[in-house]
């Protein structure tokens, strides 16, 4: 039912939208007027009908009653007139000469006249009574009354008129007695007739009242219906105007707030629909205009790259993002070499085409988030964002992007049917946070670009000569790292791990690079490089294999057979799909007891793809290998994650141990870590323990295994074995 109404509503509204509002309003008013007229007519007619009913009660029903009463009265008068005449007597002489009673002639004569007149009146009244519309029942009763009245007149009154005229007392007296009897005889017929008249009058009255009631009910019902229908029509009409108007207002608002994409649907053909149509056209035009203005304001018309204004804006943004994310960014200024000569010799059109081509090539070398701009002429500027948090790495990344751009520009290019070779000079400047202003950065990149030009073109220069130098060493070191493994330049150092009873547990193996020129290189310098280049895979496998071979050798000696070795595993290594296989193969080849081997993982490594990580860890656990969570406390692992991980040891990071005695916060953190480890049933070891105070403090907190300079730095195997022997025997 409700659905049906809603459906009707919807259809009517849709229909209305096709009719002009003026017509709609006019139609509604017309309808209202017609309904009002009909109502008034129905009321007037109904009331007239009921009035007519009530009138007929009186006129059609009561008039005959009155006439009958009149007739009855005249009949009674006649009877009384006889009695009056009989009361005036005198003694006279009769026909037999005997004295006899005689009526007073004067009185008797007058009575006779009156009676005669009354009889006539009764006759004419009866005639008019009978001409009123009577029902069959009334006619039967009327006839019965007419009969007894006729007898009353014919047998008593008419003879009495004769006897009165002759003043005959005896005769008159006898006829008066007859009249009396006949009058009484006519009474019941008259009464029955009257009763019938009254009954019918009451019936007519009841009927009239009922008609009146019906008329009133009908009028009220029609009025109610009319009000309902008119209200509904009014409501629909109003919503059919107000809703679209509200839509119009909303669109105006969105346009005035500078939004030009609000959807405008036009549903009808009325005035508002026409306004909507106009609005839609206006919106489209405004949107296109604004896009054109935006394009002109922020983009270079030739290459569609960002212009100076947008560049400055984006650079400002890049500085904020760098501040927030603690990541380096870089600005590159690219200037085409010898562009002027192309313009001069081959014309501006060819020059423009080269610029467009260059723009496309530069764009293909950078990421979506980076910005490429042209400031006019043949100068392009690039903002690289989200580089490494480490300056050297960031320099490396920027350098790679620059080299890629140089190579792209160096590709020959077809210009007006002629192959053209171009090159560029690139100036590069790193930025970090808000350390420098936009102008500083642009000036520095420009300086670097001129340096590149003056150092022979088709090259890239950093603004900071120090960065330039370290970048070069980095690049050199990277190429040397490739040969370190084949040239046997790696060596494992061992750092002893102890318990609180001065027992030797084993060692963590730490990698060292014996560089032919630079001497011992520490892992912090080359491990990230090895990760980036993928060299960590063979190097990591070599570390693992060397450690396992050492465990194998130790297994033969009762002094060292219980030693454990902890091996650091890098993220790239661990995420290799065949990592579990590689470890399994090394274990099989060396044949050591896997319980002696511990793998150190960092929190960030573990949290990366936690499902896969857990799978791998469990697979290795099943082979008997244990895991230690390295640098624990510096990451952001939540406890929830930690409980899911199959680890056997937490390694408290050395940054907490360093200040454990002096810094209350660090002491609390260490205590929390130890408590957590106890709850999880996981062992703890502290690294970076340098003083006896630190060790004692850790012991007091419940940490009973340690690693640190207090017992020894990482050292070559021989030294470690000597140290271990010495500590064990004391």
The footprint of ligand C2E (CB under 6 A) covers 495, 510-511, 522-524, 527, 540, 543, 568-570, 600, 630-631, 654, 687-690, 707-709, 714
To ligand C2E, the closest distance from the beta carbon of 407 in angstroms equals: 32
Note whether 600 binds Ca ion by CB under 5 A: yes
Give the distance from CA 147 to its chain's centroid. 98
Among residues 449 and 689, whose Cβ is nearest to ligand C2E?
A: 689
Please give the residues from 57 up to 116 whose contact with Ca ion meets the rule CB under 5 A.
none
Q: Of 237-245, 465-473, 526-534, 562-570, which part binds Ca ion (CB under 5 A)?
A: 562-570
- Dihedral in degrees, nearest 10, Cα atoms 7, 8, 9, 15: 110
To Ca ion, the closest distance from the beta carbon of 508 in angstroms equals: 6
To Ca ion, the closest distance from the beta carbon of 687 in angstroms equals: 5
Q: Of 43-51, 352-360, 473-481, 631-639, which part binds Ca ion (CB under 5 A)?
A: 631-639
Q: Which long-range contacts (CB under 8 A, 24 or more apart) does 82-86 make?
A: 82/111, 82/115, 82/160, 82/164, 82/172, 82/175, 82/176, 82/179, 83/176, 84/111, 85/111, 85/112, 85/164, 85/172, 86/169, 86/172, 86/173, 86/176
What does 714 bind: Ca ion, ligand C2E, none (CB cut-off 5 to 8 Å by kind)?
ligand C2E
Place of tokens 């530069």: 362
To Ca ion, the closest distance from the beta carbon of 333 in angstroms equals: 42
CA 491/CA 493 separation, integer angstroms: 7
Contact 633, 653 (CB under 8 A): yes
Note whether 603 binds Ca ion by CB under 5 A: no
Q: Which structure tokens are listed for 234?
A: 């009014």
To ligand C2E, the closest distance from the beta carbon of 605 in angstroms equals: 10
What does 363 bind: Ca ion, ligand C2E, none (CB cut-off 5 to 8 Å by kind)?
none
* Helical ranges in 132-168 per DSSP H: 136-151, 158-165
Note whether 649 binds Ca ion by CB under 5 A: no
CA 19/CA 274 separation, integer angstroms: 12
To ligand C2E, the closest distance from the beta carbon of 536 in angstroms equals: 6
What does 527 bind: ligand C2E, Ca ion, none (CB cut-off 5 to 8 Å by kind)?
ligand C2E
Q: Give the x/- contact pattern for Ca ion in 670-709, rule: CB under 5 A.
A: ----------------------------------------
To ligand C2E, the closest distance from the beta carbon of 630 in angstroms equals: 5
Q: Choose among 648, 650, 644, 672: nearest CA to 660.
A: 672
What does 10 bind: Ca ion, ligand C2E, none (CB cut-off 5 to 8 Å by kind)?
none
Among residues 215 and 546, whose Cβ is nearest to ligand C2E?
A: 546
The strand pairing partners of 418, in sequence order, are 415
Contact 635, 602 (CB under 8 A): yes
Among residues 427 and 688, whose Cβ is nearest to ligand C2E?
A: 688
What does 690 bind: Ca ion, ligand C2E, none (CB cut-off 5 to 8 Å by kind)?
ligand C2E
Note whether 568 binds Ca ion by CB under 5 A: yes
DSSP, collapsed to helix, strand or coil, labels residue 649 as strand
Among residues 337 and 653, whose Cβ is nearest to ligand C2E?
A: 653
Q: Which structure tokens are listed for 4?
A: 């049906």
To Ca ion, the closest distance from the beta carbon of 653 in angstroms equals: 6
To ligand C2E, the closest distance from the beta carbon of 547 in angstroms equals: 9
To ligand C2E, the closest distance from the beta carbon of 680 in angstroms equals: 21
Note whether 303 binds Ca ion by CB under 5 A: no
Among residues 266 and 727, whose Cβ is nearest to ligand C2E?
A: 727
Please select the residue that binds Ca ion; options are 370, 630, 666, 721, rule is CB under 5 A.
630
CA 396/CA 390 separation, integer angstroms: 10
C-alpha torsion sign, points 714, 717, 722, 724: positive
Q: Which helix (H) or strand (E) holds 636?
A: none
CA 700/CA 666 separation, integer angstroms: 15
Other C-beta atoms lying within 10 Å of the C-beta of residue 722: 11
CA 682/CA 676 separation, integer angstroms: 8
Among residues 79 and 695, whose Cβ is nearest to Ca ion?
A: 695
Among residues 426 and 689, whose Cβ is nearest to ligand C2E?
A: 689
Among residues 107 and 685, whose Cβ is nearest to ligand C2E?
A: 685
Q: Choose among 388, 299, 372, 360: nearest CA to 333.
A: 372
Eight-state DSSP code of residue 366? S
Please select the residue that binds Ca ion; options are 631, 637, 660, 707, rule is CB under 5 A.
631
CA 415/CA 421 separation, integer angstroms: 10
Among residues 626 and 654, whose Cβ is nearest to ligand C2E?
A: 654
What does 511 bind: Ca ion, ligand C2E, none (CB cut-off 5 to 8 Å by kind)?
ligand C2E
Place of tokens 């964002």: 385
Contact 727, 502 (CB under 8 A): yes
Q: Which structure tokens are listed for 509?
A: 């193996």
Could you tell me whether strands 626-632 and 89-93 are parallel, antiparallel, or unpaired per DSSP bridges? unpaired
What does 182 bind: Ca ion, ligand C2E, none (CB cut-off 5 to 8 Å by kind)?
none
Among residues 329 and 540, whose Cβ is nearest to ligand C2E?
A: 540
Distances (CA, A) of 24 to 20, 21, 238, 277: 6, 5, 10, 20
CA 456/CA 719 separation, integer angstroms: 53
Q: Of 38-46, 81-89, 181-189, 563-571, which part binds Ca ion (CB under 5 A)?
A: 563-571
CA 83/CA 117 separation, integer angstroms: 17
Q: Of 120-128, 387-395, 426-434, 595-603, which part binds Ca ion (CB under 5 A)?
A: 595-603
Among residues 332 and 685, whose Cβ is nearest to Ca ion?
A: 685
Eight-state DSSP code of residue 522? P
Among residues 121 and 655, whose Cβ is nearest to ligand C2E?
A: 655
Q: Of 73-81, 113-121, 194-202, 598-606, which part binds Ca ion (CB under 5 A)?
A: 598-606
- In the complex, the residues that contact Ca ion under the rule CB under 5 A are 568, 600, 630-631
């Amino acid at each position: 039912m409700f659905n049906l109404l809603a459906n009707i509503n919807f259809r009517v509204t849709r229909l209305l939208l096709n009719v002009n509002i003026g017509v709609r309003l006019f139609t509604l008013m017309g309808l209202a007027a017609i309904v009002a007229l009909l109502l008034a007519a129905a009321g007037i007619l109904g009331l007239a009908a009921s009035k007519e009913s009530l009138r007929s009660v009186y006129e059609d029903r009561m008039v005959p009653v009155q006439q009958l009463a009149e007739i009855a009265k005249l009949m009674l008068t006649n009877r009384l007139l006889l009695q009056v005449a009989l009361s005036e007597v005198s003694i006279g002489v009769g026909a037999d000469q005997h004295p006899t009673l005689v009526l007073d002639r004067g009185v008797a004569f007058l009575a006779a006249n009156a009676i005669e007149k009354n009889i006539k009146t009764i006759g004419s009244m009866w005639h008019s009574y009978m001409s009123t519309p009577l029902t069959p029942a009334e006619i039967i009763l009327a006839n019965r009354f007419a009969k007894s009245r006729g007898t009353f007149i014919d047998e008593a009154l008419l003879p009495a008129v004769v006897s009165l005229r002759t003043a005959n007392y005896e005769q008159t007296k006898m006829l008066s007695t007859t009249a009396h009897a006949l009058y009484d005889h006519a009474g019941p017929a008259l009464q029955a007739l009257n009763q019938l008249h009254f009954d019918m009058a009451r019936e007519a009255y009841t009927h009239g009242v009922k008609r009146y009631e019906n008329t009133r009910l009908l009028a009220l019902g029609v009025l109610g219906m009319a009000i309902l229908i008119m209200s509904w029509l009014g409501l629909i009409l109003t919503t059919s105007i107000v809703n679209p108007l509200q839509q119009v207002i909303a669109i105006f608002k969105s346009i005035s707030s500078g939004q030009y994409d609000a959807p405008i649907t036009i549903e009808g053909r009325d005035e508002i629909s026409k306004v909507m149509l106009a609005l839609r056209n206006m919106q489209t035009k405004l949107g296109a205009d604004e896009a054109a203005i935006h394009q002109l304001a922020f983009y270079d018309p030739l290459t569609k790259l960002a212009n100076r204004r947008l560049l400055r804006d984006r650079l400002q943004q890049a500085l904020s993002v760098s501040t927030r994310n603690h990541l380096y960014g870089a600005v590159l200024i690219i200037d085409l070499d010898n562009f002027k000569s192309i313009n001069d010799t081959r014309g501006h059109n060819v020059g423009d085409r080269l610029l467009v081509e260059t723009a496309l090539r530069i764009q293909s070398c950078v990421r979506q988030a980076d910005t490429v701009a042209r400031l006019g002429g043949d100068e392009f500027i690039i903002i690289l964002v989200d580089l490494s948090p480490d300056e050297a790495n960031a320099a490396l990344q920027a350098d790679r992007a620059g080299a890629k751009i140089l190579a792209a520009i160096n590709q020959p290019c077809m210009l007006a049917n002629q192959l053209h070779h171009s090159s560029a000079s690139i100036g590069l400047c790193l930025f970090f946070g808000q350390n420098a202003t936009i102008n500083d950065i642009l000036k520095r990149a420009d300086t670097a670009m001129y340096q590149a030009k003056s150092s022979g073109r088709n090259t890239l220069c950093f603004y900071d000569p120090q960065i330039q130098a370290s970048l070069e060493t980095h690049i050199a070191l990277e190429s040397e790292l490739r040969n370190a493994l084949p040239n046997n330049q790696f060596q494992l150092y061992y750092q002893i791990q102890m318990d609180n009873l001065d027992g030797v547990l084993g060692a963590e193996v730490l990698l060292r690079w014996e560089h032919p020129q630079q001497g011992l290189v520490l892992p912090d310098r080359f491990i990230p490089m090895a990760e980036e280049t993928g060299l960590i895979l063979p190097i990591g496998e070599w570390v693992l294999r060397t450690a396992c071979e050492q465990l194998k050798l130790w297994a033969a000696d009762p002094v060292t057979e219980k030693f454990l070795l902890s091996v650091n595993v890098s993220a790239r290594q661990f995420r290799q799909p065949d990592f579990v296989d590689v470890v399994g193969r090394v274990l099989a080849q060396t044949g050591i007891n896997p319980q002696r081997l511990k793998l150190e993982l960092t929190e960030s490594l573990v949290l990366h793809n936690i499902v896969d990580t857990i799978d791998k860890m469990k697979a290795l656990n099943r082979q008997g290998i244990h895991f230690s969570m390295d640098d624990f406390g510096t990451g952001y692992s939540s406890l929830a994650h930690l409980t899911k991980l199959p680890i056997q040891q937490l390694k408290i990071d050395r940054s907490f141990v360093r200040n454990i005695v002096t810094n209350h916060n660090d002491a609390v953190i260490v205590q929390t870590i130890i408590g957590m480890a106890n709850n999880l049933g996981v062992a703890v070891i502290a690294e970076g323990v340098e003083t006896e105070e630190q060790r004692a403090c850790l012991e007091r907190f419940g940490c009973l295994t340690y690693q640190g300079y207090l017992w020894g730095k990482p050292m070559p195997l021989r030294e470690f074995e000597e140290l271990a022997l010495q500590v064990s025997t004391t």
